[in-house]
Amino acid sequence: MPRSRKSLQSIIERLKIFYGQPRPPEITDPFEMILRENVAYLVADEQRDRAFQALSDRVGLSAEAILSAGDEALLDIARLGGMHPDARVNKLRTIAQTALREFAGNLEAMVKRPLAQGKKALKRFPGIGDPGAEKILLFSRSQPILALESNGLRVLVRLGFAEERKSYAATYIAAQEAVREQVKEDFDWLIAAHQLLQRHGREVCKRSAPRCKSCPLTRSCSFYTTSAIKEGLGDV
């Protein structure tokens, strides 16, 4: 498939003007990122942050602290993170055991391995697939890759960088491949691009009802152009 001629760098610049420069992520330690992903389930970021903060305050964020914590303490924290708290207690313990048993507690060394090895190792932890592993590798400044979560991926697809495929994984790979030659090998830029695409997908390019009238990217957007032609709005 031919690569898109749209300019990802210009789109990220326009998003930066629209939303402002994002603040650097607060959590960048690989083990802590895995814990935050697993301490809550299907909840808003604010609730996930509260559960993670409770884990930090009441138990601690080391593998040893989690393994020595009592069931009730972990269950109370897991309840803050939504449904199925029992399952999350098990996951937190599994994360701690995996970190100690397979990586001697040193995930920072593990994420410095070559990309494929680092991803494979991170996927040993619960709740971490390819997108999550890549986000950890990016935020920990281990691999300069444009990790995408679901909102950012949707924005790239609607803009026309890639077509939706039969599976999420195939669409993810297609979008990354389409922008591969346009990304800057610069951690600050890549992290900001991830954050800006995510925010745009959440706030404007929403899944069920994109707010195109408020979007700064209409001129570059295949979805908008196609919709406008269908609706007889003339040149766009």
- The binding site for ligand SF4 (CB under 6 A) comprises 155, 158-159, 204-205, 210-212, 215, 217-218, 221, 223-224
C-beta of 77 vs 159, nearer to ligand SF4: 159
**Shortest spacing between CB 11 and ligand SF4, in angstroms:** 9
- CB neighbourhood size of 101 (10 A): 10
In whole angstroms, how close is the CB of 223 to ligand SF4 at the nearest point? Answer: 4
Please, which residue, 55 or 159, has the CB nearer to ligand SF4? 159
Between residues 12 and 111, which has the closer beta carbon with respect to ligand SF4?
A: 12
Q: Nearest approach, Cβ of 201 to ligand SF4 (angstroms)?
A: 8
Give Dmax over CA atoms of the chain in angstroms: 66
Instruction: CB nearer to ligand SF4: give 58 or 211.
Output: 211
Please state the closest distance from residue 155 (CB atom) to ligand SF4, in A: 6
Burial readout 8-21 (b: 16 or more C-beta within 10 A, e: otherwise):
beebbebbbebbee
What's the min distance (Å) between Cβ of 225 and ligand SF4? 9
Indicate the residue among 153 and 217 with the shorter CB distance to ligand SF4.
217
Nearest distance from C-beta of residue 213 to ligand SF4, angstroms? 8
Residue closer to ligand SF4, measured from CB, 87 or 233: 233
